[in-house]
């Protein structure tokens, strides 16, 4: 179910550094200490995404990883996006 604008804003207030991009995406940039750690982080995200059957848009640029989330099949942002965002934040703590 697509979230209302109010629900999106409430979820963003509870998230740590996630930003709205347009009206259908949230995104966040992560910086890791080395390229291999960035790849390890992305591999962990891939496993999480596969387990959830909710796959992010990923950009890897050396030590920087950008994650964008949207529930494409529903046409916007759903609770799945914010739950995944939280899981990715928790995963990043292992690398911070």
Q: Which CATH architecture has domain 5-93?
A: 2-Layer Sandwich (3.30)
- Rounded to whole angstroms, the Cα distance separating 2 from 66 reads 23
pLDDT in tens, 44-63: 999 999 999 999 999 999 99
Mean pLDDT of the chain: 97
pLDDT in tens, 24-47: 999 999 999 999 999 999 999 999
Q: The pTM is what? A: 0.95
Is 63 within 8 Å of 33 (Cβ atoms)? yes
Look at the alpha carbons of 57, 44, 78, 8 in this order and tell me if their dihedral is positive or negative. negative
Is 69 within 8 Å of 2 (Cβ atoms)? no
- Residue 81 confidence (pLDDT) above 90: yes
Name the band, by pLDDT with cuts 50, 70 and 90, for residue 96.
confident
């Amino acid at each position: 179910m697509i979230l209302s604008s109010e629900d999106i804003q409430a979820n963003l207030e509870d998230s740590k550094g996630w930003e709205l991009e347009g009206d259908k995406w949230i995104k966040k940039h992560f910086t890791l200490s080395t390229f291999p750690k960035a790849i390890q982080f992305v591999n962990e995200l891939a496993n999480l995404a596969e387990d959830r059957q909710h796959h992010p848009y990923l950009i890897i640029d050396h030590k920087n990883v950008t994650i964008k989330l949207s529930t494409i099949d529903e046409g916007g942002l759903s609770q799945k996006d914010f739950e995944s965002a939280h899981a990715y934040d928790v995963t990043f703590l292992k690398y911070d």
